[in-house]
Each structure stands twice: as structure tokens, then as C-alpha cells.
């Protein structure tokens, strides 16, 4: 379970990125984070990765507070989380298999287990036939599938997706969303997006942010600003 308790993030010049945000996320829950640019969606995801520091409040993952000033277990925390970004963040010199396997190598999995899980995740995302191709040979949709496959392997229970469909055409967007639908059965997913169609069609919990404030938190909500 993830818990945000009165989380405020202020930047040194006084800008407020998040203003006293509180919400809980149950295990295997799918949540859309919606709102205009600068609303604080990415800040929430970055806080969960301990990639930025909060000013007030606390964040807990499974009762472990992840935001103290001197939090040392950053690597351990991130090993529980899979990340999917709009710009894919794929290693260009490595092929598809190596990119996905990296997520498990970091956690010291046995090579045979790596092979098994990587193959399964590439099957799930539908790019097992591209296993030995390099990023330069892949389309944007395929690159995003690699990123999703990488986020899934290695027993990562939480998936943070930051505008994962932002660079994709509508057809590919729906194909990618199908994969996320499959993943929500086993993973907790926080999905930041601007895409009204996918939010409205899937009817999942929606947290709406505006100017760093949480203005709505609706079960089976839609895209409303």
C-alpha cells in the first residue's frame, strides 16, 4: 500500500509543486493522475522514486517511510518499482533482451530466471520476435513495449507510468493500454496522462491535480478538469 500524507513540495524560489496532498493507494489498484502541465503529476511519481525531496508530510510504501532527509535505501526502493516514461529511456547500445534483462541484473537474478522472465514479459508486450533487435530498429510503440516489459520483470510490484502514450499514435496507444489492463491484475499502477480518451474509457480511479492541489479523487472517474 502507498500512502501520501499531507505532502507538500516547495521549490527554493517559492513555487509550490504539491500542496498538502493526501491519498492512499491499495495494492493492485490502477490510478490515473490527470491534470494540466505543471499540476504536479510527475512530482508525485518522482517522490515515489525518491528522485525529489518533499518539504512537508510523509510518504509510506508498505509502512516504510521513503522520504526522510537522509533516506539511504534509494536503490532498494527503486528495485520495487517499474518505470515507464514518455521518452522510453531505453539504452541505445543494448538490444531489446539486454534492455529488459538489465532490470533483473540490477537485482542479481540468476541468468536462467532472467531468461525466463524476460521471454515472458516480451510475450506479454508482444515483441518477443524483436528480442535481438536494437532500439534504432524499433518504432515508438515497440520502444514503449520494451519499456513496459522492463518495468514488469524482476518482481516489481508498483508501476509508475509518466505519460507513456504521449509519443504514440492512437492505434498504438490502445495496444499499449491493453498491456496495462493485463498488468493491473498483478501490479499497482500510477498512470499520469493527458489523454482524455483512455481515462474516460477505462473507468478507473482518477486523481485530478491542478496547481499542485488535489481537486478530485473519484473511483471509476473520468477526465474532468
Partner 1 sequence: MSDILTSLRRTPYQTFAALSVLFFTLLLSGLLFISLTFLQGLLNYVETRPRIIVYFQVKAEEDQVFAVRDKLEATGKTVDITYVSKEKAFEIYKEFTENDPLLVEMTSPDILPASLEIDAKKPEYLPELADLLKNQPGVDEVQFQKDIINNLLSLTSNVRKVTFMFFSYLMFMSIIVLTTTLSFKIALKREEISIMKLLGATNMYIRKPFIGESVFLGILATALSNIVLIGVLIVMNAFLKGYFADLGNLNMSLFGLPLQVWPFNLTFAILTLSVTAIFSLFITLISSFAATNRYL
Q: Does residue number 49 form part of the binding site for partner 1 (CB under 8 A)?
A: yes
Nearer to partner 1, 81 or 207 (CB): 81
**89 near partner 1 (CB under 8 A):** yes
φ, ψ for residue 68 (rounded to 5)? -60, 160
Closest CB 182 distance from partner 1, rounded Å: 21
- Of 117 and 208, nearer to partner 1 (C-beta) is 117
d(CA 41, CA 137): 31
Q: Which residues contact 68 (CB under 8 A, 6 or more apart)?
A: none
The least distance separating partner 1 from the CB of residue 89, rounded to whole angstroms, comes to: 5
Among 16, 60, 102, 124, interactor with partner 1 by CB under 8 A: 102
For partner 1, the binding residue among 83, 114, 127, 146 (CB under 8 A) is 83
- Residue from 77, 124, 140, 202 binding partner 1 (CB under 8 A): 77
Q: How far apart are CA 131 and CA 219, in angstroms?
A: 38
Q: Residues 92, 135: contact at Cβ < 8 Å?
A: yes
CA distance 182 to 69: 36
Q: Looking at beta carbons only, is 147 or 209 nearer to partner 1?
A: 147
Q: Between 34 and 83, whose beta carbon lies closer to partner 1?
A: 83
Contacts of 169 (CB under 8 A, 6+ apart): 141
- Give the Cα separation of 68 and 208 in Å (integer): 26
Cα dihedral value 158, 163, 165, 168, nearest 10: -140
Binding residues for partner 1, total number by CB under 8 A: 19
Contact segment (CB under 8 A) with partner 1 among 70-78, 172-180, 191-199, 206-214 equals 70-78
Is residue 1 part of the contact set for partner 1 (CB under 8 A)?
Answer: no
Print the binding letters for residues 106-135 with partner 1: x by CB under 8 A, - otherwise: xx----------------------------
Rounded to whole angstroms, how far apart are CA atoms 36 and 188? 23
* CA atoms in the 13 A half-sphere facing the CB of 223: 15
157 binds partner 1 (CB under 8 A): no
Q: Which is nearer to partner 1, 36 or 71 (CB)?
A: 71
What the block records as the C-alpha cell of 195 is 489523454
Residues that bind partner 1 (CB under 8 A): 49, 51, 75-81, 83, 89-91, 93, 102-103, 106-107, 150
Amino acid at each position: 500500500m502507498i500512502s501520501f500524507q499531507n505532502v507538500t513540495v516547495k521549490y527554493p524560489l517559492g513555487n509550490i509543486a504539491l500542496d498538502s496532498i493526501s491519498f492512499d493507494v491499495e495494492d493492485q489498484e490502477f490510478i490515473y493522475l490527470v491534470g494540466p502541465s505543471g499540476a504536479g503529476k510527475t512530482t508525485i511519481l518522482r517522490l515515489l522514486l525518491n528522485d525529489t525531496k518533499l518539504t512537508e508530510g510523509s510518504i509510506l510504501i508498505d509502512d516504510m517511510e521513503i522520504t526522510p532527509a537522509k533516506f539511504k535505501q534509494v536503490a532498494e526502493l527503486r528495485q520495487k518499482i517499474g518505470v515507464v516514461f514518455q521518452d522510453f529511456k531505453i539504452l541505445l547500445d543494448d538490444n531489446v533482451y539486454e534492455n529488459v534483462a538489465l532490470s533483473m541484473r540490477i537485482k542479481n537474478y540468476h541468468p536462467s530466471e532472467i531468461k525466463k522472465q524476460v521471454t515472458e514479459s516480451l510475450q506479454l508486450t508482444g515483441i518477443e520476435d524483436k528480442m535481438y533487435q536494437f532500439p534504432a530498429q524499433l518504432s515508438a510503440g515497440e520502444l514503449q513495449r520494451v519499456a513496459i516489459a522492463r518495468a514488469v520483470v524482476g518482481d516489481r510490484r508498483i508501476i509508475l507510468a509518466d505519460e507513456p502514450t504521449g509519443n504514440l499514435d492512437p492505434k498504438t496507444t490502445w495496444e499499449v493500454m491493453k498491456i496495462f489492463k493485463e498488468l493491473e491484475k498483478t501490479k499497482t499502477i500510477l498512470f499520469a496522462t493527458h489523454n482524455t480518451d483512455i481515462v474516460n474509457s477505462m473507468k478507473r480511479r482518477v486523481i485530478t491535480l491542478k496547481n499542485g492541489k488535489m481537486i478530485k479523487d473519484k473511483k471509476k472517474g473520468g477526465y474532468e478538469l
